[in-house]
């Protein structure tokens, strides 16, 4: 199954296209997706620890614009957004 990850905020540094596509197993979870993204960063950005921190501290949003937990099961080809924390004041 194919999943598209829309990149927002600091995660846009992960791709020139503001989007990453992964092939995942049926019923994969957001937790599985985080692991897949960390592996992608290891391969493409020499394990950039700042990028990994972004993935580990971000929330994910479903196609229905709902924030989803790490236990959320991805059951179809879907577009998921990664929303990194935003600092400032």
Task: For residue 67, give the nearest of 85, 88, 53 by alpha carbon.
Answer: 85
Distance CA 49, CA 17 (A): 21
Per-residue pLDDT of 7-35, as tens digits, reads 999 999 999 999 999 999 988 999 999 99
Per-residue pLDDT of 31-47, as tens digits, reads 999 999 999 999 999 98
- Overall average pLDDT of the 61-77 stretch: 92
Residue 82, number of CB atoms within 10 A of its CB? 24
Query: What integer pLDDT is reported at residue 89 of this predicted model?
Result: 40
Element containing residue 53 per DSSP (H, E): helix 49-57
Query: What integer pLDDT is reported at residue 87 of this predicted model?
Result: 64
Distance CA 49, CA 29 (A): 23
């Amino acid at each position: 199954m194919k999943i598209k990850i829309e990149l927002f905020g600091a995660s846009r540094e992960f791709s020139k296209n503001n989007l990453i596509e992964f092939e995942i197993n049926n019923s994969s979870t957001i937790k599985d997706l985080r692991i897949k993204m960390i592996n992608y960063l290891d391969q493409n950005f020499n394990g950039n620890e700042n990028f990994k921190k972004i993935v580990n501290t971000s929330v994910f949003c479903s196609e229905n614009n709902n924030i989803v937990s790490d236990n959320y099961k991805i059951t179809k080809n879907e577009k998921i957004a990664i929303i990194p924390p935003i600092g400032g004041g």
